[in-house]
Chain A
Amino acid sequence: MPDFQFPEFHGLPPFYTPQPVPKTREQQIDLWSSLIISYCHHESIKIIDIISFLDSPVCNNKTIERKMPQSLLEKIITNLKEDGHAEWADESHSRAYIFYKSPAEWGVQIMKIIDDQGLLGEVVPIRRLMKLLSEENKEFEGCDEFIFFRSLKELEKKDKCFIMGKSQGIVTSVDEIMGVKFKLG
């Protein structure tokens, strides 16, 4: 795979200083957010450790001798979290999941495939569902179980499907799902 091409702003020192003017800072955080998503996608990074990520070539630009402060990275993760592209992996906010596609975006694709296959209103066993999705859309091969689970949960929250667990109680991972019933309309 070719090396990741950093965008122009990555080589400009002021982007490593949290901007004092709110509007500029928002734009700065937006630029960084999309850079981090595409970088993690390119390097197949699913989860980042805040401290070590600050030393990665993304946040630490040795050419211009600028390193992103932790406070800025935290703001970027918070921004990514708001539109569903990241999630803190622990209480102490030391690690974060980075989603190339948000659970909501995956959810839309899941519903489209289910609709195309005429499976609306049906109960689909979980293994069959996973197989079907990766057959229909190659992208699903890169969708790991954690985010897949989040996408189903997101759909359930929107009342698009009903997740049936193998046993009573709250379902917390894909392994505990028996099947998913997709609702009509």
Chain B
Amino acid sequence: MRAVRLKRARANIKAKRETSSRLELEQMELLCKNLKSALEKHTRNPNVAKMIKKNPELRSKFCSLCYAVGIDPVSLKSGYLKALGLGDFYGFLSSRVATMCAVTAERTGGIIPLPVLVEKLNKGQSDIVTEEDVERCIEKLKIFESGLDIITHPGSSVKLVQSIPREISGDHSLFISQCEAKKINHGTIETFCSILGWDKTRCERVINEMMQNGDLMLDSVPSHPDNYWIMALSM
């Protein structure tokens, strides 16, 4: 008797589970359908596309939503999301990023801190772009072997954009990111020694290498100690 009851109870539970999961599925489907139609409705509204371009915060949220459901908002070629023009937005921004890097590379020696790059891109523009936007573009540009890359030095939060492919030693990127963090764009050997906590030999070696690469420029005035200017943080 007990065994039969148990069996019946199990069957009951199974049936309940199936109904509930079917209900859940139906609910999910409905939710997805609603989401899709809401999205469709919004994307048809030209104001939404405009807002996404204008508002960096909304753009960031929208992109993370897309990534969460496995859609790449940047490479949308067709479908209703195309109307949002995010692909065009990033395409256009990418070409601006690439141009800006090329233009500044000659003077900065090919390294530019991400915040500085973003600041340059936003100069005189009404639509503000964020570091996240620019990072996304640089990721995409890698496909074209653009030579652009983002390097982060361990122990530093400053991201550096490298635009001329070359070997950058840890010391170089540490040098630039520490100075960026301290908002210093020039100094004497002594200044840099104290900022970085290096001894004079190490400091001089790195300064010498960075001079050779065009990352630093010398400012020499009679009866003053030589000053070195970090081009990436000065122009």
Contact = CB atoms under 8 A, between A and B. Distances in A.
Interface of A: 8-9, 12-17, 19-21, 23-24, 27-28, 31, 66
Nearest to B215: A24
Interface stretch (B13-21, B28-36, B126-134, B216-224): B216-224
Q: What is the interface residue range for chain B against chain A?
A: 10 to 19
A14 B219 contact: yes
A20 B106 contact: no
A14 B229 contact: yes
30 contacts: A8-B235, A9-B107, A12-B234, A12-B235, A13-B186, A13-B219, A13-B221, A13-B229, A14-B186, A14-B218, A14-B219, A14-B227, A14-B229, A15-B217, A17-B217, A17-B218, A17-B219, A17-B220, A17-B221, A21-B211, A21-B214, A23-B214, A24-B214, A24-B217, A27-B106, A27-B107, A27-B214, A28-B217, A66-B219, A66-B221
Given A14-B217, A17-B217, A28-B217, 13 more contacts: A12-B235, A13-B186, A13-B221, A14-B219, A14-B227, A14-B229, A17-B218, A17-B220, A17-B221, A21-B211, A21-B214, A27-B107, A66-B221
Contacts of A17: 217-221
- Greatest chain B CB density within 10 A among A8, A13, A16, A28 is at A13
Contacts of A12: 217, 229, 234-235
Nearest to A23: B214
Contacts of B234: 12
Contacts of B229: 12-14
Interface in B178-235: 186, 211-212, 214, 217-221, 227, 229, 234-235
Nearest to A14: B217
B218 A20 contact: yes
A96 B107 CA distance: 28
A28 B219 CA distance: 13
Contacts, number: 43
A65 to B, nearest CB: 8
A129 B106 CA distance: 43
Given A13-B227, A14-B229, A16-B219, A21 B235 contact: no
A31 B217 CA distance: 14
Contacts of A66: 219, 221
Nearest to B217: A14
B227 A9 contact: no
State the 6 A-B residue pairs at the shortest beta-carbon distance, nearest first: A14-B217, A14-B219, A13-B219, A14-B229, A17-B220, A24-B214
Contacts of B107: 9, 27, 31
B227 to A, nearest CB: 7
Contacts of A28: 217
B234 to A, nearest CB: 6
Contact of B218 (A19, A23, A27, A31): A19
Interface in B33-84: none
Contacts of B218: 14, 17, 19-20
Contacts of B227: 13-14
A8 B231 CA distance: 12
B217 to A, nearest CB: 4
A19 B235 contact: no
B208 to A, nearest CB: 10
Nearest to A22: B212
